[in-house]
């Protein structure tokens, strides 16, 4: 069990530490969806993966902050990826990744 947890943690870390600078925010979100790393969708009657149009809507409404900035789904992903926060203004705020440096700036 401990080996499985350690392996999952390594996979999570390597995903976020990869160079995403040549990909768009939407491509980053879609890659996260493939790995089941996104918050669930509350659209419709069933909870599940968000649709592509819902991901775009999240970006347009400022519900996705990358490195502290609300970016369009068409923007290039920053390098390095320091923080990723979903729904930063709501009670469902979800932080999926934050480096120690970003944590110090966002306290």
Q: What is the pLDDT of residue 37?
A: 80
Q: Give the pLDDT of residue 101.
A: 65
pLDDT of residue 1: 61
* Per-residue pLDDT tens listing for the chain (107 residues): 667 777 777 777 777 777 888 899 999 999 888 887 888 887 766 678 888 999 999 999 999 999 889 999 999 998 888 888 999 988 888 888 766 665 555 55
Burial class (CB in 10 A: 0-12, 13-18, 19+), 88: middle
Domain residue ranges of the chain, discontinuous segments joined by +: 2-105
Asked if residues 38 and 59 have their Cβ atoms less than 8 Å apart, the reply is: no
């Amino acid at each position: 069990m401990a080996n499985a947890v350690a392996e999952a943690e390594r996979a999570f870390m390597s995903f976020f530490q990869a160079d995403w600078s040549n990909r768009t925010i939407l491509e980053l979100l879609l890659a996260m969806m493939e790995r089941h790393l996104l918050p669930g969708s509350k659209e419709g009657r069933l909870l599940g993966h968000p649709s592509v149009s819902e991901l775009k809507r999240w970006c347009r409404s400022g519900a996705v902050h990358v490195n502290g900035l609300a970016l369009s789904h068409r923007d290039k992903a920053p390098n390095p990826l320091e923080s990723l926060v979903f729904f930063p203004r709501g009670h469902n705020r979800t932080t999926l990744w934050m480096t120690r440096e970003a944590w110090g700036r966002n306290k």
